[in-house]
């Protein structure tokens, strides 16, 4: 599990995330090799449907050099986590400067294609990356319910993701104000599971949405052929 030094961990080349500029935000994302591609599962609650529908190979992810880069970053994280986190923190701070120069607010997704508890990783003086950068908004999706039910940094927003195998977790979270992301095949319904549905494809800024809603996402790529129940058929 060898890795080469990485000049850059964060990326911004994502069409959906570029929509955020219209809302006053400059966004960056960290992409690692999802599920077990590295030999270590960094998406511990990934279902069969989730793994099959993963957006890892969408957009620039379809290129071999992108896949190699994501694997390399993952090996870097697994082999030398502290060095990785220190570099990530430095990039976050530089990204903030870049956003301010553009007159935009910085927002960062650390789990673009992973589900890691970055809020639990101390970097300096016992502080995690959110605590070291309190004036930056961090946001992610997760399928790990326990991440939702503990106290999170105030500048970290999590949206729970529905799969074909986490109905029990969904039932529990429906009693809270946490938002739940659902992938739909067809036109988005107005309501689902007793909640209003908002269009999650308008932008990637989950933290701007009202609390207690379903975040509706349209099927993309291989997810259009899903047979596992991961994608909810509204027709």
Per the CB < 8 A criterion, the answer to whether 89 and 130 are in contact is no
Helices marked H in 8-120: 15-18, 48-53, 64-79, 81-101
Among the ranges given (12-16, 99-103, 217-221), the one the predictor scored with the smallest mean pLDDT: 12-16
Mean pLDDT over each residue of the chain, to the nearest integer: 90
pLDDT tens track for 18-50: 789 999 999 999 999 988 888 899 999 987 676
User: Tokens standing for 31?
Assistant: 């992409």
Say if residue 14's pLDDT is above 70. Answer: no
Which parts of the chain are beta strand (E)? 10-11, 25-30, 105-109, 137-142, 156-161, 180-185, 191-192, 195-199, 214-218, 232-233
With CA atoms as reference, report the closest residue to 8 among 27, 26, 38, 28: 28
Q: Give this prediction's pTM.
A: 0.92
Question: What is the share, in percent, of the chain residues with pLDDT greater than 90?
Answer: 72
Tell me if residue 184 falls in helix, strand or coil: strand
DSSP 127: B
Residue 223 vs residue 114, higher pLDDT? 114
Whole-number Å distance between alpha carbons of 208 and 199: 12
Is the separation of the CB atoms in 3 and 79 below 8 Å? yes
- How do residues 150-186 score in pLDDT, each as one tens digit? 899 999 999 999 999 999 999 999 999 999 999 999 8
Q: Which of 49, 189, 108, 193 is nearest to 180 (CA)?
A: 193
Give buried/exposed letters for 40-71 (b at 16+ CB in 10 A, else e).
Answer: eebbebbbebbbebbbbebeebeeeebbebbb
Residue 104 CA from chain centroid, whole number: 21
Residue 215, token pair as written in the block: 């975040």
- Residue 107 DSSP SS3: strand
Q: Mean pLDDT throughout 119-141?
A: 98
């Amino acid at each position: 599990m060898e890795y080469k030094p990485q000049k850059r961990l964060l990326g911004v080349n994502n069409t959906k995330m570029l929509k955020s500029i219209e809302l006053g935000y400059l966004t960056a994302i960290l992409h690692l090799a999802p599920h077990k591609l590295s030999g270590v599962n960094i998406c511990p609650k990934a279902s069969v449907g989730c793994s099959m529908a993963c957006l890892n190979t969408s957009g620039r992810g379809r290129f071999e050099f992108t896949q190699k880069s994501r694997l390399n970053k993952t090996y870097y994280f697994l082999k030398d986590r502290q060095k990785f986190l220190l570099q990530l923190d430095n990039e976050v701070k530089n990204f903030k400067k870049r956003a301010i120069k553009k007159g935009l607010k910085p927002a960062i997704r650390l789990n673009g294609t992973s589900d890691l508890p970055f809020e639990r990783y101390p970097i300096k003086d016992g502080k995690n990356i959110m605590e070291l950068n309190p004036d930056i908004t961090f946001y992610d999706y997760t399928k790990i319910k326990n991440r939702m039910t503990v106290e999170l940094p105030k500048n970290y927003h999590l949206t729970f993701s529905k799969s074909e195998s986490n109905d029990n977790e969904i039932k529990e979270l429906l009693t809270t104000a946490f938002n739940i992301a659902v992938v739909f095949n067809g036109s988005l319904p107005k309501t689902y599971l007793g909640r209003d549905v908002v269009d999650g494809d308008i932008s990637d800024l989950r933290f701007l949405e009202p609390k207690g809603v379903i975040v509706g996402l349209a099927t993309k790529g291989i997810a259009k052929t899903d047979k596992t129940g991961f994608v909810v058929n509204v027709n």
